[in-house]
Structures are given as structure tokens and as C-alpha cells.
Amino acid sequence: MSPTDLHVVVPAGGSGTRLWPLSRAANPKFLHALTGTDRSLLQATFDRLEPLSTPERLLVVTGVAHATSVARQLPELPERNILVEPFARDSCAAIALAAAVIEERAPGAVMASFAADHLITDTRAFQEVVGHAVEGAAEGLLMTIGITPTRPETGYGYLRCSEPARPGVRQAVLEFREKPTAEVAAEYLGSGSYLWNASMFLWRTDVFLAELAARRPDVHDPVREIARAWDTERQEAVLGQLWPTVPKVAVEYAVMEPAAAEGLVATVPGDFGWHDIGDFETVGELLGREVEGARIVEVGPQGAPVLVVDGTGVIAVSCAPRVIATLGVRDLIVVDTQDAVLVCHRDRAQDIKRLTELLRERGHTAHV
């Protein structure tokens, strides 16, 4: 197949609560320029994928709250390729909807799905790995691209492979594993046979939909019916009627795990500078500049200085044209936005979600 025959799907959802107050339910991280350039994560994802496909074959699945932002950030994307979910139904529904719509438009197409909020530094290596994975997908496998782990990360799920991973060499995936403990993560890293699951999937739409039909008809049947009405005047009515009936389930759990157990899943390990922009530690590491013992990250409109005096281990994220000044503090994350400021110990960066929960509980939904 020619590379431009590939259909690409980008599920753009999730509010990124570990990046609050930068990332918001109404303005999530994929819309922010967390890329080191003025392009948003979503735009950088588009830039990376567009050469693998064409705008006509690239679909974004997103929620009603973000449809207009997606449309404006990606003016090259045809409107009919922005699939808007009335409300979130987890990853299986989102990916299945895209697969079913593609199947209607181009039966038996190879599709690939990539998150909207990941950063990849080596685009050439990425494209090469995708090329290998496309071959497996065309042969009828459910393909993933697994990331060669560089540390015993406890924040990601893992793929267990049949043998130690070699970049670019396809092999079977035996199991999907949830986020491990630190001890287990260290074992995974040592064994060499585990890869990070970056939710990168490639398959023929007919193969995936057949697997889905066999395992989860409760997802498959309404989604196929919605897809048949898509691009017609019946779209809204059918979507409104059937979408609420679609169960919320992750695609790993619904399809990939059982399929792996039956030997239908393979992976191509990749090593192309992949980063999940999931927390402020990563934001500081990737996008910060070292100033006076601190990592300073500037996102969006600037115009006032960030001062760190006698600080160590400070990550300061400036998202508004205001002064941030710290004096004599250590191991803190300070994030300043237009309407909220966060001061968090670095040891607690994974618990920021607790703050958004509290804000919701107390009725301050505008700030979540």
C-alpha cells in the first residue's frame, strides 16, 4: 500500500487533571502549546501524522466542548473528519466509531490511532516504525507500537512481549499489563521483554470491527449503526438515540487483551523520543530551561519575569503575563495561570487530581 492509503485517527479527549491548572476540562492539555513551539500538542500531532496520510484520511474524535477548538486549530482538516461525541464513552467507543466510519468510507482500510497529547522528538524514526506496523496490520494482525522503556515508570501500562524487544522488529504481544508498582516496574525494565503501552494501534478496520463484534457486540452494534448513518441527514438522530447506550470501556480491556491471549496482537517496538506530557515533572524536563537552579517553562502569553532566588528543584510554569517570584524554596512546582495558581510539592505531583476533585465538590466548576 502507498503511505497515503493509511487512515489515521486521533482521539482527543481527557482533561489532563495532573496538569491542572494549566489543563482544564474546558481547555485540556492537547489544545496547549506544550511542544516547545507555538504549535499545540494536537497541532504537533497533526504535523507528525499528516505526511503518513492526508488530511482527507485523518480523523479526530473529540467531545462537544472541544469541537470548535479542534476545528480552528486544524483548519486543514475537513469538517466531516471531526467526529464529535455527544459525551465521552471511553476509548473503545471513540476508536470503534472512527473505525466504523472509515469502514463505511473505505472498506478494509488500514487505520492507525495515536493520542493527541504525546510528544515525539524523532519523527523520522517514528514514521519508519509506523511503516513496519502497517505491514502487520495489512496482514490482518491487531498491531501496537510499544515504546522501549527508559526507566521503571509506574505511570504507564505495559505490553508483555514474547521475547526481549528489538526496535523495529515485529513480535507477538502476550499480555497487556496495568500500571505496575515500582518494584514490578523495575522487574519489567530488567527483563527487556516489556514495552510501554502508548495506546498506538494499527489494524484493518474490518479485522478490528470483526473482533469487536465477537467480543463486545454491545459496543459494536450501536457504533456500526451510527457509522452507517454518518455523513447522512440521519446522523444526528441516530447518534442521539444510540450513543447513550454504548458502554464505557477501554479498548485495551474490551478488545486488545482478549485478542492478545489468542495470539492476534503483535507489536513493533519503537525508540523515537516518545513522551506522554502527563505531569509537570515531564513538562519541566522537556520544555523547561534551566535558570538559577530551576526549570522554567513558559506557555502562552508572557511579558513578566520568573524569579527564583535561592531555590533548588523548583519547576515554575508561567502561563500568564504575570511575575512569578520564589524565595528560598525547594522541590516545588509553581504553576501560574490567568485564574488560578498552584503550589505543589514535587513529591505530590501525581495527586493534583485531588485539587480538581475538591474544586468540583465545592461547586467551583469554572476553575476545573
Residues that bind a second copy (CB under 8 A): 21, 304-305, 307, 309-310, 321-329, 332, 334, 336, 338-345, 347-348, 351-352, 354-355, 358-359, 362, 364, 367
Strands ordered across the beta sheet of 314-318: 289-291, 294-298, 314-318, 332-336
| Cα(32)–Cα(119) distance, integer angstroms | 12
Considering the complex, state which of residue 236 and residue 310 has its C-beta at the smaller distance from a second copy.
310
Considering the complex, state which of residue 211 and residue 336 has its C-beta at the smaller distance from a second copy.
336
Considering the complex, state which of residue 20 and residue 30 has its C-beta at the smaller distance from a second copy.
20
User: Cα Rg for the chain, rounded, in angstroms?
Assistant: 21
Q: Are 126 and 272 in contact (CB under 8 A)?
A: yes
Q: Tell me how far, at minimum, the Cβ of 12 lies from a second copy, in Å.
A: 26
Considering the complex, state which of residue 172 and residue 304 has its C-beta at the smaller distance from a second copy.
304
Q: Are 147 and 270 in contact (CB under 8 A)?
A: yes
Q: Tell me how far, at minimum, the Cβ of 119 lies from a second copy, in Å.
A: 25
| DSSP string of 282-321, one letter each residue | HHHHHH-EEETTEEEEE-S---S-EEEES-BSEEEEE-SS
Q: Tell me how far, at minimum, the Cβ of 24 lies from a second copy, in Å.
A: 11
Helix (H) or strand (E) holding 128: helix 123-138
Q: Tell me how far, at minimum, the Cβ of 342 lies from a second copy, in Å.
A: 5
Q: Tell me how far, at minimum, the Cβ of 302 lies from a second copy, in Å.
A: 12
| Cα(148)–Cα(145) distance, integer angstroms | 10
Q: Tell me how far, at minimum, the Cβ of 35 lies from a second copy, in Å.
A: 25
Read off φ and ψ for residue 46, nearest 5 degrees.
-60, -45
Considering the complex, state which of residue 20 and residue 176 has its C-beta at the smaller distance from a second copy.
20
Considering the complex, state which of residue 75 and residue 328 has its C-beta at the smaller distance from a second copy.
328
